[in-house]
Amino acid sequence: MKNSNPPKPKDAFPKRPFEDQVNDDQRKYSRYVCDSRAIPHEIDGLKPVQRRILWAMWNSDARNRYTKTVKVAGLAMGYHPHGDRSIQDALSQMAQDFTFANNIPLVSGEGTFGDVLDPSAIASPRYTEVKLSDFAKDLGFFESLPDIDYVKNYDETEDEPIHFVGKVPIVLLNNIQGIATGFRCFIPAHRLADIVKSQVNYLKTKKPLPLKPWYRDFGGEVRMAETEAGNITMATSFAFKWEGDILYLTDSPMNWNREKVVSLIDDIIERKDSWLKDYVDYSSQTFRIELQYKKGEKPTQKEIMALFNKEDVQTLAMNVITYDGKLKNFKPEEIIKRFCDFRKTHLIRRFKRLSGLEEEKIERNSELIRFIKEKWNEKVIGIKSKKDFEDKLKASKFKYFEWLSTIPVYRMTIDEVRKCEEAIVEAKTALSRYQGLVKEDKKLTDFMITELDELQTKWDKV
């Protein structure tokens, strides 16, 4: 049988070096991993799997009620096509509530989600339960869903948000780490009160206050430095506490679990060249290790820190996906600026929509008053069909003729007119407020500052 599709001559194929093709594919894959898995968004501070988890929780019982972690992961799979294990791991990490995990978790957990002694000691998702944290709701992610943009999920059956818009840049609040192909991300955690103060100062003076990393319940030192190459590093150290003449180790550097700390102490004791004689480990969820010193050799603070001079050093890589889809590296202060400016545009969009709703409310109630006063309930008697009724209303310049044609008779009263007039007054007041927020930058700025103050007062009162 003759081949109807003979092979193409070599000249018909594009002439491109193999090396260029591989490099191009590598770049595309690298960017895919950054966008789809490893790098957070600058506006909501979430990686795609985290955003899809919150979205699935908001649209299920897990919005308000503790639900099995494995069930929530199953719901999130409708948006995240990368397997249930990755979702379960991300969900468990979002619920962790201890030093170096989350300053304020977006997910509330019931069960074992690890602790600072062993962050990996997480129970099976069959035995843990999660729900949206109250902070995630107060943050404002879900208060203005009609005003954010959506895309279709991977099988184009449902919509999912491109990103949420909260009141503060979560990308700075909780510790974020990620590894992509050719890129990495390490954004240290910061205190909510410091983030809010920086935002407020920027809104008032156009100058954000500088931010320093901060970890809840961490008593050790957090020290920043710049390398010769220009990279910024963050070092965390051990911390100790005296209770009378008894010395306790109370904090370890980042990434130092109990096993690693105890191993270090054992090595020190085995060398027999220091003041440390023995130890007793009373740790439970947090570090509390009694360090017993040799008789007559009570150590000074300098001697303690010299013996426990180990630190964890992380190089900052504040890579984020911007709201216009680019991969950028920003300093914390630049993130504050960009976030506040974006939130302003988001709020303007929101208040324009709300203004439109109030205008519609005024128009509907005004037409209903006219409808009642012109006694259309009596005129309907001689009309043959609902369509004829709608046509007559339309001819009489009623804008909402379809709605008016369904108004029940019992609402055709003077009392209904009074209710409509009251609703119009309320709608005009709200409309005036929304229009003021859209047109006057000072009013919008004051609104943002007020909501930030309320958030800080509730969640991180200084």
**pLDDT, tens only, 124-174:** 999 999 999 999 999 999 998 999 999 999 889 999 999 999 999 999 999
Higher-pLDDT residue of 5 and 397 is 397
Tell me whether residue 396 is in a domain: yes
Of 162, 195, 212, the residue that ends a domain is 162
C-alpha to C-alpha distance for 399 and 376, rounded to whole angstroms: 15
**Residue finishing a domain among 111, 144, 162:** 162
* 154 catalytic per annotation: no
Are residues 300 and 383 both part of a single domain?
A: no
What is the DSSP track for 93-120?
A: HHH--STTT-SS-SEEEES-EEETTEEE
- pLDDT > 90 fraction of the chain, expressed in percent and rounded: 81
Residue 272 lies in a domain: yes
With respect to residue 320, please indicate whether it lies within any of the assigned structural domains: no
**Together in a domain, 357 and 453:** yes
CATH of the domain at 153: 3.90.199.10
245 falls within a domain: yes
Any idea what the CATH number is for the domain that residue 358 is in? 1.10.268
Across the chain, mean pLDDT equals 91
From CA 230, how far away is CA 232, in angstroms rounded? Answer: 7
pLDDT of residue 12: 62
Question: Which pLDDT score is estimated for 285?
Answer: 93
Return the residue matching tokens 């001819």.
395
For residue 426, is pLDDT > 60?
yes
Q: Which of 29, 127, 150, 282 is catalytic?
A: 127
**Across residues 220-226, what is the average pLDDT?**
95
So what's the pLDDT on residue 80? 87
282 alpha carbon, distance to own chain's centre: 36
| φ and ψ of 259, to 5 deg | -60, -45
**Residues of the chain with pLDDT > 70: what percent?**
91
* Mean pLDDT along residues 194-211: 97
Q: Which amino acid appears at position 68 of this protein?
A: K
Per residue in 346-357, pLDDT (tens digit) is 999 999 999 999
CB 45 within 8 A of CB 113: no
Query: Is 80 exceeded by the pLDDT of residue 186?
Result: yes
Compute the average pLDDT of residues 378-406: 90
pTM, entire model:
0.89
Number of domains the chain contains:
3
Residues 287 and 378 in one domain: no
Domain that holds residue 74: 47-162
* Structure confidence by residue, pLDDT tens digits, 328-350: 999 999 999 999 999 999 999 99
191 pLDDT higher than 90: yes
pLDDT tens profile 280-312: 999 999 999 999 999 999 999 999 999 999 999
Indicate whether 53 and 158 sit together in one domain.
yes
Q: According to the model, what pLDDT value does residue 165 have?
A: 96
291 in a domain, yes or no? Answer: yes
Which phi and psi (to 5°) does residue 112 adopt? -95, 115
In a domain, 29, yes or no: no
Instruction: Choose the final residue of a domain: 132, 162, 192.
Output: 162
> pLDDT of 3-59, one tens digit each?
566 666 666 656 666 565 555 555 554 444 545 557 899 999 999 999 999 999 999
- pLDDT greater at residue 428 or residue 412: 428
- Closest among 138, 134, 73, 143 to 108, alpha carbons compared: 134
Q: Does 156 lie in the same domain as 58?
A: yes
User: For the segment 47-95, what is each residue's pLDDT rounded down to a tens digit?
Assistant: 999 999 999 999 999 999 999 999 999 999 999 888 888 899 999 999 9
Q: Report the alpha-carbon distance of residue 278 to residue 290 in Å, rounded.
A: 8
Residues 297 and 355 in one domain: no
Are residues 373 and 297 part of one domain? Answer: no
Residue 228 is assigned to a structural domain of this protein: no
pLDDT on residue 181 = 67
Task: Kindly state whether residues 71 and 137 are assigned to the same domain.
Answer: yes
Q: Are residues 352 and 424 in the same domain?
A: yes
Q: Which of 104-108, 245-249, 387-391, 431-435 has the lowest mean pLDDT?
A: 387-391
Please give the single-letter amino acid code of residue 257: N
Residue 333 lies in a domain: no
pLDDT of residue 14: 63
- Residues 286, 355, single domain; the answer is no
Distance of alpha carbon 420 from alpha carbon 288, whole angstroms: 66
Report whether 310 contacts 253 (CB < 8 A). Answer: yes
Count of C-beta atoms within a 10 Å radius of residue 37: 18
